[in-house]
Amino acid sequence: MWRWLSLILLVLLIFLQSRLWWGPGSMQEVRALRAQVQAQAADNERLQKRNALLEAEVADLKNGTHAIEAHARSELGLIKPGEVFYQVVPQSNPAGASSAGQ
């Protein structure tokens, strides 16, 4: 009787251990899910920082004129009345001229 009970308990133990290490919800799967959670948390943190910067820029655009002026100057090339706009154009090398001698 004890032999059969021991055998049944051993088979049950082997079955449960196999499910723990290789079955659905196994330790390998738990490790993989934890790694995915960590990667998602890092991605979420990066996106939260970006959102905070965008919120600050939106607030500046709504409340201040400095950001609007900076965007108008950089993207549209606008200048204030009384200012003089200078555009520096790089000198192009004539055909056949070497830039090493200059």
Percentage of residues in the chain with pLDDT exceeding 70?
A: 91
What is the mean pLDDT of the segment spanning 47-59?
A: 93
Per-residue b or e along 61-94, where b marks 16 or more CB atoms closer than 10 Å to that residue's CB: eeeeeebeeeeeeeeeeeeeeeeeeeeeeeeeee
Signed CA dihedral, 43, 47, 49, 50: sign only = positive
Eight-state DSSP code of residue 90: P
Domain boundaries, the chain: 47-74
Per-residue pLDDT at 59 exceeds 80: yes
Tokens of 98: 């070497």
pLDDT digits (tens, 9 = 90+) for 5-40: 898 999 888 888 887 777 777 788 889 999 999 999
User: Is the entire prediction scored with pTM above 0.75?
Assistant: no
Residue 25 contacts by C-beta under 8 Å, 6 or more apart in sequence?
Answer: 19
Q: pLDDT category, 51, cuts 50, 70, 90?
A: very high
